[in-house]
Amino acid sequence: MADHAVLTAVSNQPGILFGLTRVLADRCANINYVDIIHHQDREAEIYLEFSIEDAAAGTSAGISAIVAELAQVPGVTSVALTPSLKKIYGKRIIIMGGGAQVGQVALGAIAEADRHNIRGERISVDTIPLVGEEELAGAVRAVVRLPRVRLLVLAGSLMGGDIASAVEEVRQKGMIVISLNMAGSVPDMADLVVSDPVQAGVMAVMAVADTAKFDIVRQQKRKY
């Protein structure tokens, strides 16, 4: 199934999202992702990613017909086809924890991602420096709600308690977690523990890259 994406400019009124999704449902399109983007100085935008199983409906003519129908929805002022976020930004790696450690992990991850992206991959790296057990635990649990995130790196010098519980929860939902070798119980919960933060960033990218020969499953529960 080919992935398609549209960006619509809409007025702020009830029923807009329903009208757009009804058009896609009538065309048997499967909606994969929706984002509502608010602007202070202009109309809001609704971004939708969808796929179509039917080969005829997925042709250029079929997609053009869908765009034309979306433009007829009351309250929609413009509709534009756009590359999907998956094609542009691809897989995401999230790094969170102490600022100094986060920066060093990002150094390795960005350098390694650049090497793979030149070869056709799309891997993006996001960081958020955070302190505090409650703040970090909440951020860890929220990672599974973010689109396209494939791996989480926890970078700090002490993490445990509810953060460790949060790590276990997201791992059960399929998230890969790499931890720096730090004090606390988080390293015991992670899939992989790496002492060098730069190397942790490199290994995080290698774990999600299709162009790398690195199997995170074979490294589970190891420490480096």
At residue 162, does pLDDT exceed 90? Answer: yes
User: Over the chain, what is the mean pLDDT?
Assistant: 92
Q: What domains can you pick out in the chain, each with its CATH number?
A: 2-84 (3.30.70.260), 89-223 (3.40.50.10550)
- Express as a percent the part of the chain with pLDDT over 70: 96
CA 203 to chain CA mean position, Å: 18
Please name the residue that has the structure tokens 């995401």. 92
Whole-model pTM? 0.85
Instruction: Read off the pLDDT of residues 66-77 as tens digits, 9 standing for 90 and up.
Output: 999 999 999 999
